[in-house]
Amino acid sequence: MQYQDKTVWITGASSGVGEGLARVFHREGANIIISARRAAELERVKASCTDGPGSIDVVPFDLIDAAERDAAAAEVLARYPRLDVLINNAGIGQRSLIMETSLDVDRRIMELDFFAPVALTKAVLPRMMEQGGGHLVVTSSVAGKHGMSHHSAYCAAKHALHGYYESLRIEMFSHDIKVCLLVIAGVRSNVHEHALLGDGSAYGHADWGADAGMSAEECAEQTIAAMQADEYEPVISIEAASQALRIKQDNPREFTERMHKVMQWMEGS
């Protein structure tokens, strides 16, 4: 068991990638703390984690509520003398064109997808420095590496994560605090259903079939392998998304043309 007796805190753990991470880390021997807004769903995830010897604590809170976030961090740090891994996984998606998206929605996405994980990181960083090390993991996306139609604020938030956490990696290098940005795409989850439209309402349905893409547990297994290898930006992705990354690097004009065709497909034209 690769994480025997390690303490791992996972946000956004009530479904999707976070749920997969909870199951796999628990199976690998970790004591896990799982957080999200929906306490009932967290209890369901806890009940499904049956393969590991470690403890499972449920700490529900709203990540963008500063008071709740501070209280959750204080609770976790008081309960556990050591925090080995923080996985900033919580976030929200987007499905709206720039000209149809209110500035309030842009701000809401940036608040949850960028400022909230930054705030939680700041809350636990002193403990990791005191204990002489730790691992900070952030769920990013291929949207953190290139732009996409209907995802402008989401892309902006993910791009911001890369700039921030790469800077943090440099600053924390001598403290043995590792930073891993997960460049994810094509993992099965309900992120599409909860994505925001331009007026702030939920998108409400998935873009892909129920069985399309990679399972959340496969994503979690690749995450653990990447962490063990101290990878900085592992790409955990279906081939089509990985191909888009390569095209963006090699031929930006071709990338733009291809992504425009994807936009037309999304709009049903």
Query: Residue with structure tokens 């690097």?
Result: 249
Question: Contact, 84 vs 136, CB < 8 A?
Answer: no
Cα separation, 129 vs 86, in Å, equals 13
Residue 154 designated active-site: yes
Q: Name the average pLDDT for the chain.
A: 93
The structure tokens listed for 33 are: 């703390």
Q: Which residues contact 50 (CB under 8 A, 6 or more apart)?
A: none
pTM of the model: 0.93
Per residue in 83-101, pLDDT tens? Answer: 999 999 999 999 999 999 9
**Residue tagged active-site, from 154, 164, 165, 203:** 154
Asked if residue 258 belongs to a domain, the reply is no
Q: Which amino acid is at 47?
A: A
Asked if residue 66 belongs to a domain, the reply is yes
Q: What is the CATH number of the domain that holds 145?
A: 3.40.50.720
The tally of domains found in the chain comes to 1
Q: Containing domain of residue 224, as a range?
A: 7-239
Asked if residue 244 belongs to a domain, the reply is no
Per residue in 10-33, pLDDT tens? Answer: 999 999 999 999 999 999 999 999
The structure tokens listed for 174 are: 């001598």
Q: At residue 233, what are phi and psi to the nearest 5 degrees?
A: -140, 70
Q: Where are the alpha helices (DSSP H) in 28-102?
A: 39-48, 66-79
Cα separation, 241 vs 188, in Å, equals 14
Asked if residue 110 belongs to a domain, the reply is yes
Asked if residue 261 belongs to a domain, the reply is no
pLDDT (mean) for 110-116: 98
Asked if residue 265 belongs to a domain, the reply is no
